Amino acid sequence: MEFKTNHEIIRRARRNARGPVWDYLAGGSESETAMRRNRFGLDSIALKPRVLRNVSALDVGTTVIGHRSRIPVFLAPMASLQLVTPAAAQAVDDAAEEFGIINMLSGHSRPSLEEIAMNSLHPKVFQIYVRGGRNWLEDLLGRVKDNNYAALAVTVDAAVYSNRERQMIAGWAPPTRSNAAGREFLAALNWDTWDEIRQIWGGPMILKGVSRPEDAETGIQHGAEVIYVSNHGGRQLDHDRATIQVLPEIVSAVDGRAEVLVDGGFMRGSDVIKAIALGAQAVGIGKLQAFALCAGGLSGLIDCLTILEDEIRIAMGLLGVTSLDQLNSAYLAPAKPVNSAHEMSAFPHIPGGRLT
């Protein structure tokens, strides 16, 4: 392994990310309050260990959308990773296959969904931003089906483009932003569109971008198999709540009728453990995935996942649990963050703090 800590990965990523690419990967919207809150929420939970519990045999594995997953982590969909390295989406998918976790391929990824599918046999999810009407949906979802994607994630927290001010100040936008084609379909998205997609697709559906129990309930009424709690990493609605704060409300509303996934600010094995203890099935990594790719491509991402796995194992062992299903809210307590929370607050040894 080239990297022993995710600290080193982030420092290398910062060195490698040229110009506005760093702003694209690391930034949030407007005041970046929602992005910081994601970390603040995680930093505001302490862990409560049990002792003398014989943790010599530990199982960090689980299932995600019914498929075996080596750790309770999946790769959140990320557009325009080709800005980091040319075949980045392929490297991400290869890392997921080699490590043994689920990859959610962004609908805005390059190479194409066909090329990715041709090069890998493991189960993976396709994420869609709705940017067309019935014909567009039939064509795209037909291609997704023909290429055997295991589930479809519909992103619903991007009805309107947010202001990402780090990029605006740099006078730069990623390719997906400069191409406004079909934006009106994103704005017009409603439950009828969801039903239409469901009817065309016919397979498992993930509702990505849920922040309120009412929407989780409606999603279940409309056949969602997975409720994915997310505020887009604080890149869409500024001042949204931390996803870890929202999670218990959603888990309680869902009440076992769907799988609950979550993302937003997760950087450490101990962060992952907190979400599992609050009822999530698994945790998505966005920024951390991008930083690892930027630091070392495919092998950088495998190193990052291996480090996360080790951190999860250490946290479980020291908490006194041997499998993820033993975790519950009794292992958690509210606590004051020890540092000022920001997107890098899980990494106190980064010189200069925030790396902006």
For the segment 210-239, give every residue that binds ligand FMN (CB under 6 A): 230, 232-233, 235
Closer to ligand FMN at the Cβ: 24 or 347? 24
Q: How far is the CB of 125 from ligand FMN (least distance, A)?
A: 11
User: For residue 298, which phi and psi values (nearest 5 degrees)?
Assistant: -55, -50
Q: Which is nearer to ligand FMN, 235 or 321 (CB)?
A: 235
**String marking each residue 101-120 x if it binds ligand FMN according to CB under 6 A:** -----x-x------------
Verify whether residue 222 is a known catalytic residue. Answer: no
Binding segment for ligand FMN (CB under 6 A), chosen from 7-15, 210-218, 282-290, 321-329, is 282-290
**Residue 266 binds to ligand FMN (criterion: CB under 6 A):** yes
Residue 83 CB, shortest distance to ligand FMN, in Å, is 9
Stretches 71-79, 92-100, 111-119, 330-338: which one binds ligand FMN (CB under 6 A)? Answer: 71-79
| Least Å from the CB of residue 228 to ligand FMN | 8
Closest approach of ligand FMN to the CB of residue 97, in Å: 19
The catalytic position among 7, 222, 232, 349 is 232
Instruction: Choose between 16 and 230: whose C-beta lies nearer to ligand FMN.
Output: 230
Q: Spell out, one character per residue from 73 to 102, where the chain touches ligand FMN: x when CB under 6 A holds, - when not.
A: ---xxxx-----------------------
Q: Which is nearer to ligand FMN, 11 or 235 (CB)?
A: 235
HEC readout, 168-184: HHHCCCCHHHHCCCCHH
* The binder of ligand FMN chosen from 20, 265, 269, 300 (CB under 6 A): 265
Chosen residue from 37, 110, 164, 208 binding ligand FMN by CB under 6 A: 208
- Is 20 an interacting residue with respect to ligand FMN (CB under 6 A)? no
- Given the complex with ligand FMN, which of 48 and 239 has the nearer CB atom? 239
Our finding on whether 155 is near ligand FMN (CB under 6 A) is yes
User: Is there binding between residue 342 and ligand FMN (CB under 6 A)?
Assistant: no
Size of the residue set binding ligand FMN (CB under 6 A): 25
- Choose between 126 and 331: whose C-beta lies nearer to ligand FMN: 126
The string over 90-127, giving b where at least 16 C-beta atoms fall within 10 Å of a residue's C-beta and e elsewhere, is bbbbbbbbebebbbbbbbbbbbebebbbeebebbbbbb
Distance CA 281, CA 275 (A): 8
Residue (228 or 321) nearer to ligand FMN, CB: 228
As a three-state string, the secondary structure of the chain is CCCCCHHHHHHHHHHHCCCHHHHHHHCCCCCCHHHHHHHHHHHCEEECCCCCCCCCCCECCEEECCEEECCCEEECCCCCHHHCCCCHHHHHHHHHHHHCCCEEECCCCCCCHHHHHHCCCCCCEEEECCCCCHHHHHHHHHHHHHCCCCEEEEECCCCCCCCCHHHHHHCCCCHHHHCCCCHHHHHHCCHHHHHHHHHHHCCCEEEEEECCHHHHHHHHHCCCCEEEECCHHHCCCCCCCCHHHHHHHHHHHHCCCCEEEEECCCCCHHHHHHHHHCCCCEEEECHHHHHHHHHHHHHHHHHHHHHHHHHHHHHHHHHCCCEHHHCCHHHEEECCCCCCCCCCCCCCCCCCCCCC
Active centre residues (catalytic): 232
| Residues making contact with ligand FMN (CB under 6 A) | 24-25, 38, 76-79, 106, 108, 127, 155, 208, 230, 232-233, 235, 263-266, 284-287, 290
